[in-house]
Structure 1
Amino acid sequence: MKRVCFLGASVMEGMGDEARLGMPGRLALLEAETKQSFIHYNLGVRGQTLREISERAASECRARFQDAKDFIVFATGSNDFALIESGIPKKHMPRTPRRRAMNNFKTLMTELSEIAPLLVFGPTPVDESKLPFLSTVSNMHFDFKNEELASGSTEYSAICQDMNIPFINMHEALSASDDFMAGLAENDGLHSTGKGYQAMAEIVQSSPHWQSLIQA
């Protein structure tokens, strides 16, 4: 049976999903209904930046893959775009400078492309009225702006296009999803509830990029 590794941070992990399924679990259930079953590994770790994900991504995928038709779904996440207080006087600065984040992304995509085919999606939208978000991992307040997440997604998309890696603009797609946005408002503003993750799973399933990989 085909194996799929789902890499990312808290959104891939499914933080906020009351059913504890996250997008990967919900996608697996959707595909089971079509008899297109696969083994899924949720490798999301909340709070991690691209650099931190890079430290484990390749080895975790290699440990699980058995066939050339296995593949990776990678969520770029939002953590690199988090605004944190830094310096004296305190200013709100990005957790990772934009150029460094894009370099880290390109390096990781190069490494993962050597292991298996890839499907990538960008950061999800936030409900700015509910932020900043207190991280229980770092005990720090993180703020996020949709304008930054959207522009970052555009840059990720351009890199993927240059590398011939399929990309889903999840920020754009979910901004138009009533269920996802309502789930953000009902939760912490950064992570949606189960209905939001269901919307994500349906977007991935309907993507021709996903269909091409899962049916290969």
Structure 2
Amino acid sequence: MRDRTNPPQGTEAPREPYGVGPAYPSSHTQFTDDAPGRYAGSPAPEDTAPSGPTPAPPASPAPPLAQAPVAEDPYYTPSAEFTVAEGLRDVGMVFVGASMTAGYGDPKGLGWVGRVVARTQHPDLDLTAYNLGVRGNTSGDVVARWGAECHPRWKGRTERRLVLSVGTNDVLSGMTMARSRLNLANVLDEATNAGIGVFVVGLTPTLDDDLNRRIEALAEAQADVCARRGITYVDCYRPLATHDQWMADLAASPDRSHPGQAGYGLIAWLVLHNGWNDWLSLS
């Protein structure tokens, strides 16, 4: 696992990229195949609580994620190893998340999940994919349902894969940062301890600057949770935060929150070009 430099504290100093995926310059308006290589994180030092919580704006319907920790991430001690069989592989792949995972707002009905699955066909892969995105889900909802919903879909499959993308509704509901990252850690640990391969797709920016500040903070926390476990995390926030086509797609959508075809295509591109084939051991 490669080393990752921890992001500097403070909002004015430039931050190093986090998670797994290329860091796109602010002027980047089109994804290309010559993007910088992937990078993975190593366990970072323990979090330090800030001097005090940041108060929510008076008119905001949901408070910002609290920074003061209420619980530590569980100590990661995997009890099972993930193995890939030789020859034709019988893979059950389950996508779990909220409305973005479900592809809400895409007139083609594909979302990023459908586009990724369509590009994951391989002669050595007998792939069965399931989209279990539920609008409005928080990470707490995912903790409560992922096992009961995923395991029946893996029945009979020799290789089990879980793709997880959740968190924006944590911010909107006022869930604390500590609880959100703990929920993610619990799902990752339960899955990996059961011999399930896990891949995490990060959060995407919105048109709301204040909301984006909180989403970016949670994206950094999620990247850290994954880095501590050596799990691939795709940074979607930074590449899309200054991407003209992403922002235009959001602005043109009926709810100004979910993208259309172009936006979902951009998420799919990021997933496919940032560790997807390596995670699936495809050449």
**Which sections of structure 1, spanning at least 5 residues, go unmatched?**
83-93, 130-143
Aligned match of 2:272: 205
In the alignment, residue 12 of structure 1 is paired with which amino acid? Answer: T
Answer yes or no: is the 8 Å Cα contact 2:96–2:162 preserved in 1: yes
**CA distance in structure 2 between the aligned counterparts of 1:182 and 1:4, rounded to whole angstroms:** 31
- What secondary structure does 2:179 align onto? helix
Deviation at 1:164, TM superposition (A): 1.5
Answer yes or no: is the 8 Å Cα contact 2:167–2:180 preserved in 1: no
Deviation at 1:213, TM superposition (A): 2.6
Query: Which of 193, 196, 206 is the aligned partner of 1:126?
Result: 206
Deviation at 1:100, TM superposition (A): 1.6
Deviation at 1:43, TM superposition (A): 0.6
- What secondary structure does 2:239 align onto? helix
Deviates more, 1:174-183 or 1:147-156: 174-183
Aligned match of 2:161: 71
In the alignment, residue 204 of structure 2 is paired with which amino acid? Answer: T
Deviates more, 1:10-19 or 1:52-61: 52-61
Aligned-residue sequence identity (percent) comes to 26
**TM-score normalized with structure 1 length:** 0.80
- What secondary structure does 1:150 align onto? helix
**CA distance in structure 2 between the aligned counterparts of 1:197 and 1:37, rounded to whole angstroms:** 25
Q: Give 1 or 2: higher helix fraction.
A: 1
Deviation at 1:124, TM superposition (A): 0.8
Answer yes or no: is the 8 Å Cα contact 1:128–1:189 preserved in 2: no
Query: Which of 154, 175, 182 is the aligned partner of 1:96?
Result: 175
Aligned match of 2:193: 114
Answer yes or no: is the 8 Å Cα contact 1:180–1:193 preserved in 2: no
Does 1:161 pair with 2:227?
yes
Query: Which of 247, 251, 260 is the aligned partner of 1:181?
Result: 247
Answer yes or no: is the 8 Å Cα contact 1:11–1:77 preserved in 2: no
Deviation at 1:176, TM superposition (A): 4.1
Structure index of larger Rg: 2
In the alignment, residue 112 of structure 1 is paired with which amino acid? Answer: A
Does 1:81 pair with 2:171?
yes
- What secondary structure does 1:192 align onto? coil
Task: Provide closer, same or farther for how the CA distance between residues 25 and 189 of structure 1 changes in structure 2, counting only shifts above 3 A.
Answer: same
Answer yes or no: is the 8 Å Cα contact 1:183–1:192 preserved in 2: yes
Aligned match of 1:48: 137
Answer yes or no: is the 8 Å Cα contact 1:7–1:73 preserved in 2: yes
**CA distance in structure 2 between the aligned counterparts of 1:158 and 1:148, rounded to whole angstroms:** 16
In the alignment, residue 113 of structure 1 is paired with which amino acid? Answer: T
Q: Give 1 or 2: higher strand fraction.
A: 1
Deviations 1:58-107 (A, max 9, x none): 1222111144433111002300001xxxxxxxxxxx52122222222212
In the alignment, residue 194 of structure 1 is paired with which amino acid? Answer: Q
**TM-score normalized with structure 2 length:** 0.62
Deviations 1:100-138 (A, max 9, x none): 222222122212223411111221110128xxxxxxxxx
Query: Which of 91, 94, 108 is the aligned partner of 1:5?
Result: 94
**CA distance in structure 2 between the aligned counterparts of 1:184 and 1:37, rounded to whole angstroms:** 35
Aligned pairs for 1:28-47 within 5 A: 28-32=117-121, 38-47=127-136
Q: List, as ranges, runs of 4+ consecutive aligned residues in structure 1 with deviation greater than 6 Å.
A: none
- What secondary structure does 1:145 align onto? helix
- What secondary structure does 1:42 align onto? strand
In the alignment, residue 197 of structure 2 is paired with which amino acid? Answer: P
Root-mean-square deviation (CA), in Å?
A: 2.0
Task: Provide closer, same or farther for how the CA distance between residues 17 and 212 of structure 1 changes in structure 2, counting only shifts above 3 A.
Answer: same
Number of corresponding residues? 189
